Amino acid sequence: MSEQKLQVIPLGGLGEFGMNCLALRYGDDIIVIDAGMMFPEDELPGIDLVTPDFTYLLENREHVRALILTHGHEDHIGAVPFLLSQINLPVYGTPFTLALVERRMEEHEIDQPLRTQTVEPGDVIEIGPFRIEFVHVTHSIVQATALAITTPLGVVIHSGDFKVDPTPPDNRLFDLHTLAEYGKRGVLLLLSDSTNADRAGYTESEQATRPRLEDIFHRAERRVVISCFSSSIHRIQQIVDLSAEFGRKLAFLGRSMVTVTEIAHSLGLLRLPDGLLLRPQEIMQLPPQKVAVAISGSQGEPVSALARVAVNDHRHLVIQPGDTVVLSSRIIPGNEKAIYRMMNHLARRGADVIYGPMSPPVHVSGHASAEELRLLLNLTRPRYFVPIHGEYRQLAKHAALASHLREAGLEQVFVLEAGETLEIDRWGARKGERVPVGRVCIDSAAVDEVVEDVVIRDRRHLAEEGIVLPVIAIDKRTGKLEGVPEIVSRGFALPEGGEEILEQARQVVIRTLESATTEERTDSGVIKEKIRADLRRFIARQTARHPLILPVVLEI
C-alpha cells in the first residue's frame, strides 16, 4: 500500500455492544487499540465468552507493532489473552488496566510472558510513524484514557469510553484542555464513543449515587448487600465510606470483586480504613445491622456470587427477611431474564430489592450523553468523524449530532460497521476494502480453540466429540423432578461398557438435582449450568472426551 495512506480498520465494537477492537495502519505499521470481548447471547449455549476474529492481524502479524489499551473494562481488554497467545505484542496501558490484563492472563492459564509498558495521562510514546499521547478522561472505571495519535497525515483522536463528569469522586477532571489544544491545531479524524448517543442531555456525575446509597444505609435495619461491577472502584469506595460512617463491617464476596479490590487497594486507588473489612465466613456471625456486603454478579450470571446467594447456595451469605439488596448497575442488553429471575429469588427470601431508575439514582452510566458528545465534537472540530462503540442506531444518532459542524470544517461523517475500513490520504477520505471479521466463541473447557470461526469450530467439535443431551422434566412450581432423566447422545463414541456410563451419567444428573435447592431447580438457567458442569466433569473423567453438553429442561 502507499505510505501516504492511513487506514482505520474496526475489527469489533462498531454495530454491536462489546468486542471493541480497532487497528490503525500507516504504510507497513499497524497499532491495535483495545481487544475486548462480549458475553454470549442465549443462542450460543455452552459458550462462555465471544471475542473478535483476529484474522486480519494474524495475516499481517509482521506489521503489528503494539497493543494500546484505553481502559480496563472487559469489553476493551477481555480478548487480550487470546490475541497475545497468537501474536506477541508490547502492551501499553495505565497501571490499573495492565493489572487487570495480568489477572485475565492468569485466569486463562496463558503462559505467554507479558511485555507491558505502564503509562500515565500526559505520557507520550512513539511507535513507528505514530506519536501517541494518553489523555485522562472520566468514566465508570479509574485510569481511563483517550488517545491523541499524531500520524504523518494529521491527528487522530480516539475517545475511548468516557463521560464528562464535573465532580469525579477522585477529583481528577476530564482533560478537556488537552483535547481543545489539539482542536485548535487541527484534528484529522475523531473516533468517539456512541454508547449513549440516543440519550438526551448530560450523564449524571458518579457522585449522584451517594445520596441514594446514604439513604439506603440510613434506613436499612438489617444487612445491606450491594452488587455493582467489580471494576467500579469509585462506587466501591462509596460503599466503603458509607459502611465506615454507619458503623458496619464490610465484606467483599465473589472472585472478581475480591481480586479487583485487592488490585485497586495495592495501587492506592481504593482506601480501606483499618478494621473495616470482614472475612466472608464471619458475615453470618455478626448482628445483621452491623454488616454490609459488596458482591459481584449484578448481571445474574448463573455461577456468580449473587446468583448463588439468591437461590440459597452460597456458603458465606444467607439472605433473610428484612435484608436490603441493591443492584447498583445497569442491565446489559440480553441479561434481562437472568437478572429478573435472580431478583425474584431474592424477593422470595424476604429481601427488599432496590434497582432500576429512581431519583436520586443507585446507578449512573459511565458514558457520555448527547450534549457531552457535542462538546467533544466542538472542542476537537475534526475534518472527518467516525462514531464508534455501539449498535448501528447509536452510531447513526451520533453521526447526526455532528451535522452542525459542517460549517466549521467537518467534511464528512462515516458510519462504519466492523470489517468496513476507512482510507485517508492527501486527496481525502473514503471507504476502503472490507477485511475479514467475525465472532470467535470461547468455551472455558477449550481455551486453545480461539482462532476458529464459530461455525467451523462447532462443526469440528460436534464431529470429533459429539453431543450429549440430558433431558429433564421439572414441575416449574415445586421444582420436583417428574420421571427419570433421559440421556440422549449423538456422535459420541462410547467405550466398552458404554451403557453403564450412560446410566452413571443419569445418576449424576439425579444427584445434581437432588442436591439443588427448590429455587435452583425452578430456575432453568441455574439448573442447566449446574447439570452441564457436573456432567462435563463426569464424562471427561470417565472417557477423556469433551462432547457438547446441552441440558434440556422441560418445565411442566
CA pair distance 149, 491, nearest whole angstrom:
52
Do residues 147 and 157 make contact, with C-beta atoms less than 8 angstroms apart?
A: yes
Q: Is 367 a catalytic residue?
A: yes
The DSSP output letter for 365 is -
Backbone angles phi, psi at 33, to 5 degrees: -110, 110
Extract the C-alpha cell encoding 285: 456471625
Contacts of 335 (CB under 8 A, 6+ apart): 39, 299, 300
Burial (Cβ within 10 Å: 0-12, 13-18, ≥19) of residue 120 = exposed
Extract the C-alpha cell encoding 73: 473494562
- Could you tell me the sign of the dihedral formed by the alpha carbons of 517, 523, 527, 530, in that order? negative
Do residues 543 and 494 make contact, with C-beta atoms less than 8 angstroms apart?
A: yes
Q: In what order do the strands lie in the sheet with 130-137?
A: 124-127, 130-137, 144-151, 154-158, 187-193, 382-388, 412-413
Q: Which of 34, 75, 175, 193 is catalytic?
A: 193
C-alpha torsion angle, residues 189, 195, 200, 201 (rounded to 10): -70
Q: Which of 76, 345, 367, 389 is catalytic?
A: 367
Please identify which residue in the block is written with the cell numbers 466463541: 441
Longest Cα–Cα distance of the chain, Å, equals 78
CA pair distance 318, 312, nearest whole angstrom:
6
Neighbours of 39 (CB within 10 A): 19
CA pair distance 553, 520, nearest whole angstrom:
12
Q: Residues 463, 467, 471, CA angle at the centre, nearest 5°? A: 165
Neighbours of 98 (CB within 10 A): 22
In Å, how far are 267, 302, 369, 374 from 446, measured between CA atoms? 33, 20, 39, 44
406 backbone φψ class: left, alpha, beta (φ>0; ψ -120 to 50): alpha
In Å, how far are 226, 255, 330, 442 from 259, measured between CA atoms? 17, 6, 21, 22
Do residues 100 and 77 make contact, with C-beta atoms less than 8 angstroms apart?
A: yes
| Closest-CA residue to 174 (of 187, 194, 156, 160) | 160
Do residues 365 and 140 make contact, with C-beta atoms less than 8 angstroms apart?
A: yes
Q: What are the catalytic residues?
A: 193, 367
